[in-house]
Amino acid sequence: MITREDMLGLFADMKKNAPWDMNKPLLWGYFFADQDKAKLEAASKLLEAQGYHQVGIYDSKPEADTPALWWLHVEKVELHTVDTLHARNQEFYRFAEAQQLEAYDGMDVGPA
């Protein structure tokens, strides 16, 4: 689980190393995983209704003894602080649980 302390580290690293202005909206990507692609497709529709854009649903390459895992990637341009991003992560953990997804797997960020 991503903690608030993880968010503090992320924001400190971005402030030091990122070439973008953190006081402006950024493009935030969020990732969900499940072995059932249909569950991710249904979750994507719910997220799109909340203003997220589906980037895609991708499959991992299965290893010999494990099935493939599907990944849903959604994005939204948002302005976040440590606390708002921490709250969003908690919201997505609850969303993944409510949709019976295997995982909310975190986020990435880039310029809008």
Contact partners, residue 10, CB within 8 Å, separation at least 6: 85
Q: Is the pLDDT of residue 55 over 70?
A: yes
Cα dihedral 92→65→63→47 (10° resolution): -20
Distance in angstroms (rounded) separating the CA atoms of residues 68 and 87: 30
In one-letter notation, the amino acid at residue 4 is R
Residue 52 C-beta-side C-alpha neighbours within 13 Å? 20
Which residue matches tokens 């072995």? 35
In the chain, what are the domain boundaries?
26-111
CATH topology of domain 26-111: Alpha-Beta Plaits (3.30.70)
Mean pLDDT calculated for residue range 70-85: 97
Local confidence band at 104 (pLDDT 50, 70, 90 cut-offs): very high
Contact partners, residue 11, CB within 8 Å, separation at least 6: 22, 81, 82, 85
Local confidence band at 64 (pLDDT 50, 70, 90 cut-offs): low
For residue 52, the 8-state DSSP code is -
Cβ 97 vs Cβ 22: under 8 Å? no
